[in-house]
Structure 1
């Protein structure tokens, strides 16, 4: 083969490159995602509103326990502090697993399955992985945040599919879920950010409720164990006003976004994402 023939062959058949079909994201219709999520809010054996109330009730009990324990930690010493700290940490870990269970519930609703109240506890069989993944992910995001705020935010979105991967496939290892998320979110981080940003109205109301509690209500509560417990109850009830609608709406939308972003794509044009993985 002479040089002219070689050039002709090279133009027609360029060298093989690494397969990048996994990295060819499409533009997702976030409006359609939110519309579908709203339509599912009253489906299932236990609809998302009732499941969210059940979830918030458990969370309220955990927060109340945690507030009481935190107050006793401040006023105790020695081994008592260690025992109360253990209880506080345990409460936080249970909350992490329940949050993963809520994702499992949302995926079931999106699959049009009948999801009973017990489905909220579906993540407990792989609770160790949920906890370890949360810790490792938190460390990674913290390390990126030490560079600057923006890299930390991008890292948070880069790993945002990791817990969803684990909920959909509990057989995955922690690092597998994280590495898979890095590839899955390539090209979708900005879209996911904009989807979640579209809920900002509800989130502003939630922030205002927090400020109302922190700067007004808490000043009228007694500085005692009963005051700490009562404060947690009041804050939980006030937060539930927004959370009972926002929690299922946002989580169903996020899970549906995940399903679409990770689904096999056929003949879809690439979509530019300014939050690429060059960071």
Structure 2
């Protein structure tokens, strides 16, 4: 599982698909940052009251985040399709929602993961980080095994990551330069870095699964 090999494979998967990947990144920005921020400002009574609040949390933002959970899974599955040279379509992400059973399973999976990670974090921060790494492949597992329950997918992710947690950390550290570039360009570079990083994470799962 060479890191450079995985990164090259992710760039290869993006060839001819950059337009869709960038469009998806724009859509993610709108749905996860622009809309929630606009609604929080409106609910706070304007920009100044919103800025005066340290961490504005509203019922809307809480519910909105839950509603977005299947969307996050759809993004992961989009990049898996891209890496596997399947026909990756943005509209397929939204096809999850009409399937009520799948939507509820994905929301429940997120809730279970957050609950477990939070419990470990209450003990110490490091165990919480380790568990979040262990659970990192859960959504990929559900893509290949839709029949799995939330706990089965989490358990399979833990099994896959056994012996590869440090590799996962090094893999993410290899993108530090790109993250810094995103910071100095005030986020503009993310329209390239985001798809690259997401595709690389999908490649990591593929390589992990093949071991």
TM range (shorter): 0.7 to 0.9
Distance 2:67 2:34 in 1: 12
* Secondary structure, counterpart of 1:146 in structure 2: helix
Q: Which residue of 2 aligns with 1:32?
A: 5
Q: Which residue of 2 aligns with 1:183?
A: 159
Q: Taking structure 1 as reference, are residues 144 and 252 closer, same or farther at Cα in structure 2, changes over 3 Å only?
A: same
Q: Which residue of 2 aligns with 1:249?
A: 196
Distance 2:146 2:27 in 1: 24
Answer whether contact 1:45 1:114 (CA < 8 A) is retained.
no
Answer whether contact 2:137 2:205 (CA < 8 A) is retained.
yes
Cα-to-partner distance string for 1:42-85 (whole Å, 9 max, x where unaligned): 33495322332233333344333442355259x8xxxxxxxx93
Q: How many residues were matched structurally?
A: 200
Q: Which runs of 4+ in 1 moved over 6 A?
A: none
* Secondary structure, counterpart of 2:136 in structure 1: coil
Q: Is 1:262 paired with 2:206? A: no
Cα-to-partner distance string for 1:192-214 (whole Å, 9 max, x where unaligned): 111011111233355567xxxxx
- Per residue, is there more helix in 1 or in 2? 2
| Match 1:169 to one of 145, 152, 165 | 145
Shift of 1:175: 0.6
| Match 1:100 to one of 51, 62, 73 | 73
RMSD: 2.6
Scaled by the length of structure 2, what TM-score is found?
0.82
Q: Which has the larger radius of gyration?
A: 1
Range that drifts further, 134-143 or 164-173:
164-173
Answer whether contact 2:40 2:58 (CA < 8 A) is retained.
no
Q: Taking structure 1 as reference, are residues 72 and 179 closer, same or farther at Cα in structure 2, changes over 3 Å only?
A: farther
Scaled by the length of structure 1, what TM-score is found?
0.64
